[in-house]
Structure 1
Amino acid sequence: MDGLLNFLAFDDNDADVASLVIQLWLRRKSPLQVWLKEKRRTLQRILRNTRIGMLNFIQQTLPRYPDIQFFENFRMSRTTFQDILTEFGESVDVRHRGEHNEVPFSLKFLVTIWWLGNQETFRQIADRFGTTRGNAHHIVKTTLIVIGERAVDYIKWPTGAEMEEVVSKHTFPNTIGMIDTTDILIKQPLRHLAAYTNRKSTTSVKIQGVCDSRKCFLDISAGWPGSMHDARIYGMSSLSGAINEKLAGTNFYMLGDSAYPLSARLMKPYRNGGFLNQAQINYNHQHSQQRSTIECTFALLKGKWRKLKYLDVTNLSIIPHILVAACVLHNYVVDVEGDEWYDDDFDNNSDDEFQFNANESDEDEEDGATALRNRIAASL
């Protein structure tokens, strides 16, 4: 510092002033700091424009939607939409901190539902709602994660008297629910391609679900690679280890297809080699009729949230969050509105029902399960 003062030829009386000038010069903002400040200002301007663009869509466009058009695009009625906003709004707003907190949850939820219920790209979403692709992606991602965190409140295994009520609504005796998996087609991943390539040579992830007669999910396990066998998914899921505890003190069981191992808690059909007796044929028929509910449930899930027909997602870690959030919203809407709803491209055909011979489980059957199945068949 003294050398610099001498170089600048300041008098002794001006030394304090010179020292202050030099300190201010040394503390000047670097080009990086200036750039960050400008980026921050730009982001704030974008967020303000985002809010304005979304408000314009809500205030000017949405009110002109007839009820059926609102239903087709948001996959639920206006009343249900408002109920969900009331149900989720407060808890979600608390978690959405940071730069995007300027956008209210009602607008975030609107963007997320539109993305999930349609097959539009983020570029199209951004254009529709007057924002950027990055903002739209961030809003959808964070909102889906937070909705998925409410799964414990909406995807619940029945207990006590609830189990009796669930079982009473099934036509197959002592059935607590129907179990199956379905494939969700995804963009070809950059890594572990073989693991995600299913038996149809397409890339997918699998979601295992157990549903009741209302087509509501009682349990889900999402994000398994498409090449995994249904029985292996079940064996590795938390449900496999907890099913005996969940059904303790009852004679209830789930219904699954031939891909699953036979056990006292999971009844599957007889393998049809052409030598079944009439009781076994009747058992298979009634079993298939009841078990088809889970196939209809998956078809309903994909038909309502059409983004699940193909997920153009590069980050595989976000896919389970998408699937869980979709199932949470599915249960909420079905519980309020039922499973009767209009969809212009609803498809009730499930590819999974044709897996009996291809995916026949080779695992050992649980002791006593065969005798139990024979008793059930004889009683029908």
Structure 2
Amino acid sequence: MTEPVDEVKIIEELFSSENFDDEDDILLLRNIANKKHKVARIQNYIRDVVGHYNDIQFKSHFRVSRETCNYLIALFEQSVHYPKGPPFGRVRVKTAEEYILCYLWFAGNKSVYRIVAQLFGLSLPTAHAMIESVTTYLTDELGLLVIRFPRTPQEKQDCSEEFEEIAGYPGVYGCIDGTFINIRTPAHKIKSTYVNRYDTTALTLQGICDAKKKFLDVFTGIPGKIHDARVFTLSFLCPTVLSMGPDYYLLGDSAYPLCENLMTPIRDYGNLTDKQREYNRRFCATRVLIENAFGLLKQRFRQLIRTDMWGVSKTLKFILSCCVLHNLCIERNDFLDGIERYVAEPEPEAEIIINDEAWRLGLLKRNLLARQFMER
């Protein structure tokens, strides 16, 4: 007869490191096996452990406030993605709370499905299915409501005015940049296709944010080997940006092609004039918001440090679901304390020019803005 599993001790081992990776997970499971215990599922974790967390402890483990979590549970419970009956036989229906907490734990901690399943007393296939259901709900249903561009003229003007209050840069519609999401080599794919300039396997996440660091648009699934400028031209957003009209534009770093609706910094070869330096100062003080947005995203959802899903489609869907939840947290003023500053990856300068006329119009607009800043 095997000895009973010490559930409390297992939980303490799980919590001993907030950034454990796959090797740590494997070692943990081996240590338990070496003790000749029967590895059973932990029972009543939500009731007996999570239910006794104070607000700080809850947010530390699940990366959102209890209020935001309860709000998300209520939304998911009304969704078609929450199964209302047992799918097989007489299996007990999991509550919406179990679904959401299971997803939040997986997204907010550097863990694997097997550890999540053990912690929440689930089989491995059930844990996969529950996380997938919440991911699909966030991307296919909630995402359409919380990630979107300003639509009405008043919304566009409000967005531009919020940016202008930061450093006096007018007409800004959003800030654009790309970041790497490290992944394992997808199944049946060639590794070199996804290896970026840092020799890591990654996908590129392109994001556009507003002055509150909310994402207005996200686009991912492109291998990290591809330059940011090329990702932009491949994205669904490119035609929209080029047809925005002369009153609004995005701010992007030197990796992006200059055009009338996409402003970039003036390259410094050591001979910038005072008006050009002033332009760059205001530009950088405004554009840094997208880097901050990526920092908030990765600090809250630490699974994005390196995702370990085999399929590309599942990986990119999970990345997008984290972006949706990022926006929801900002809308509800749910922020993490002690956020680490995000350090942007230096991107090679753009070699792509959309067309000569677009570049010429962009250059004229940028020079006009530089003159206006010195006249104020």
Which residue of the other structure, out of 362, 368, 372, is the alignment partner of 2:365?
372
**Quick one: distance in 1 between partners of 2:340 and 2:181?**
14
Are 2:150 and 1:158 aligned? yes
Tell me the equivalent position of 1:347.
Answer: 340
* 2:114 is aligned with 1:119: no
SS for the counterpart of 1:91 is coil
CA deviation vs aligned residue, 1:10-51 (integer Å, no higher than 9, x gap): xxxxxxxxxxxxxxxxxxxxxxxxxxxxxxxxxxxxxxx98x
Are residue 182 (structure 1) and residue 170 (structure 2) matched? Answer: no
Q: Secondary structure at the match of 2:149?
A: coil
- What's 2:99 paired with? 108
Aligned to 1:337, what secondary structure does the other structure show?
coil
Task: Give the distance between the partners of 1:120 and 1:146, measured in 2 at CA.
Answer: 22
Aligned pair partner of 1:359 in 329, 335, 349: 349
Q: How does 1:50-129 map to 2 (within 5 A)?
A: 53=43, 56-93=44-81, 98-99=87-88, 102-129=93-120
Instruction: Please name the residue that 1:5 is paired with.
Output: none
Summarize the Cα distance change of 1:96–1:277 in structure 2 as closer, same or farther, 3 Å threshold: farther
Q: CA deviation at 1:93?
A: 4.3
The one-letter amino acid paired with 2:174 is G
Q: Does 1:260 align with 2:262?
A: no
Q: Distance in 1 between matches of 2:197 and 2:107?
A: 26
Task: Note the 1:203-282 alignment, pairs <5 A.
Answer: 203-245=201-243, 247-248=244-245, 251-282=247-278
Distance 1:96 1:288, change over 3 A: farther
Query: 1:326 and 1:101, CA in 2 relative to 1: closer, same or farther beyond 3 A?
Result: farther
Structure 2 vs 1, CA of residues 288 and 379 (structure 1 numbering), >3 Å: closer, same or farther?
same
Q: How far does residue 317 in structure 1 lie from its aligned partner after superposition?
A: 1.7
Quick one: distance in 2 between partners of 1:59 and 1:66?
A: 13
Higher mean alpha-carbon deviation, 199-208 vs 124-133, is at 124-133
Pick from 327, 333, 336: which aligns with 2:332? 336
After TM superposition, give the deviation of residue 224 of structure 1 in Å: 1.3
2:33 aligns to what? Answer: none
CA displacement at 1:121 relative to structure 2: 1.6
* Number of the residue aligned with 1:146: 137
* Cα shift at 1:192: 2.4
CA distance in 1, matches of 2:103, 2:201: 24
1:187·1:312 contact (CA, 8 Å) conserved in 2?
yes
In the TM superposition, residue 96 of structure 1 has moved relative to its aligned partner by: 7.2
SS at match of 2:303: helix
**2:139 partner amino acid:** G
Aligned-partner Cα distance in 2 for 1:303–1:92: 30
Bigger Cα Rg: 1
Tell me the equivalent position of 2:34. none
Letter paired with 2:57? Q
- Alignment CA distance shift 1:275-1:123 (3 Å): same
* Distance (whole Å) between structure 1 residues aligned to residue 225 and residue 179 of structure 2: 12
Q: CA deviation at 1:379?
A: 0.7
Alpha-carbon distance in structure 1 between the residues aligned to 2:313 and 2:336? 32
Q: Residue type matched to 1:76 in 2? A: V
Give the Cα–Cα distance (whole angstroms) in 2 for the partners of residues 94 and 104 of structure 1.
9
Tell me, in whole angstroms, the C-alpha distance in 2 between the residues paired with 1:316 and 1:189: 6
Match of 1:27 in 2: none
SS of equivalent to 1:142? helix
**Partner AA of 1:104 in structure 2:** T
- Which residue is equivalent to 1:133? 124
Question: RMSD across aligned C-alpha pairs, in angstroms?
Answer: 2.0
Counterparts of 1:310 and 1:108 in 2: how far apart (Å)?
22
Instruction: Determine what percentage of the aligned residue pairs are the same residue.
Output: 30
1:65-108 CA-partner distances (Å, limit 9, x unpaired): 11101011111111111111122321144567734882222211
Equivalences, count: 321
Q: Which residue identity is paired with 1:321?
A: K
- Asked whether the 8 Å contact 1:92–1:105 carries over to 2, the reply is no
Measured against aligned partners, the alpha-carbon deviations of 1:210-236 in whole angstroms (never above 9, x if no partner) come to 001101000111121110111111111
Q: TM-score, normalised by structure 2?
A: 0.81
Aligned partners of 2:266, 2:368: CA distance in 1, in Å?
13
- Conservation of the 8 A alpha-carbon contact between 1:177 and 1:254: yes
Give the structure-1-normalised TM-score.
0.80
The amino acid that maps onto 1:360 is A
How far is 1:271 from its partner? 1.5
Structure 2: 5+ residue runs without aligned partners? Answer: 1-39
In structure 1, list runs of 5 or more residues that go unmatched.
Answer: 1-48
Q: Would the aligned equivalents of 1:72 and 1:342 in 2 still touch at CA under 8 Å?
A: no
State the SS of the aligned residue for 1:342. Answer: coil
Give the whole-Å Cα distance in 2 for the aligned partners of 1:201 and 1:96: 46
Cα distance in 2 between the residues matched to 1:92 and 1:329: 18
Distance in structure 2 (CA, Å) of the matches to 1:351 and 1:93: 36
Moved more, 320-329 or 235-244: 235-244
